[in-house]
A and B are shown apart, each in its own frame.
Chain A
Amino acid sequence: MIVLMLGLGPAWAMAHGTGQHVLGTVVVIDATHIEVKTQKGASVSVNLTDKTTFSSKMLKRPSGRPEAGDRVVIEVMTEGNVITATEVQYSSPKPKGTK
């Protein structure tokens, strides 16, 4: 049985990423994904799931989710090329120096 237990494990291996963050401004958001433009101009698409949590200290939106133009800090996990959000923090500040 031990041989069976030890032997079967590797056949069902799955890769998981470690804790990572995506920072930027929301370009597009829908039920299943959020597209973020970073300050360096790169575009990053992140999947949203029913386990993704959303929070904001500054805003209280009825949807509880960020909108296009909001700033976000997204905690993600990666699996291959797929990036999935576990937590999204968002705000809608004006960048410092603007009126």
Chain B
Amino acid sequence: MRSKFVTFIVISFLILIGLIGWLGYQSFSTGFSAKAEPHWLEVFFARQLRYLAIPLENRNLRNPVPLTHDSLKEARAHFADHCAVCHGNSGDGQTPIGRNVYPKSPDLRLADTQDMSDGELFFIIQNGIRFTAMPGWGTGDPSKDTDSWKLVHFIRHLPRLTQEELEEMKTLNPKTKIESEEEAAFERFLQGDDASVPGAPIHRH
């Protein structure tokens, strides 16, 4: 009986060593890249940790800011100015930054985000998420918390965002001088000005 147990322990140990060796080989032969897609196991544990990181008291908070046309409009402008650079105006995360950070910016319109409680969304906006690109925007000033609660309303609205709202948000996105010039050149091209066309068929940002 004892010898069987010892054999089991030795075999388990050897399998563990082999597994660590294989993972080490994988890591050293491929390296780490922020462009990688997280493995489902990593996603699972990361989401569990994110859930545990939000205190129960905060998780159960309800949005104290009434949902009105004005509060939604204000949050839309806020999102376009502060959040869209990573999350995209539509919340799909398909931006040069959102696609290339690790983990990727999630599609905020999907159930993974929409199923979270108001309190969870608020906590994440205020405190960020460790080991991700999501910063914490909380200032410790309760009077400014209302902006984050309005953003929670807007995140809930993302799946029903209209084309008109998207167009308005484009005008509110912060732009560098180069981006402004590029956008103006694209507009002139669309209006028939051939001189605006960049030299290469594919223009990199």
Residues in chain A within 8 A of chain B (CB atoms) = 1, 3-16, 18-24, 38-40, 42, 44, 51, 53, 55, 57-58, 71, 73, 76-78, 83, 86, 89-91, 93-96
Residues in chain B within 8 A of chain A (CB atoms) = 20, 23-24, 26-27, 30-33, 35-39, 41-42, 45, 90, 92, 94-96, 99-100, 163, 166-167, 182, 186, 189-194, 197-199, 201-205
Q: Which residue of B lies closest to A96 (CB)?
A: B192
Pairwise interchain contact A21-B99, C-beta atoms closer than 8 A: no
Q: How far is the CA of A11 from the CA of B27 in the complex (A)?
A: 8
Q: How far is the CA of A92 from the CA of B32 in the complex (A)?
A: 46
Q: Which of B32, B182, B186, B197 contacts A6 (CB 8 A)?
A: B32
Q: Which residue of B lies closest to A12 (CB)?
A: B37
Pairwise interchain contact A7-B26, C-beta atoms closer than 8 A: yes
How far does the Cβ of B189 sit from chain A's closest Cβ, in whole Å? 6
Pairwise interchain contact B39-A23, C-beta atoms closer than 8 A: no
How far does the Cβ of B131 sit from chain A's closest Cβ, in whole Å? 10
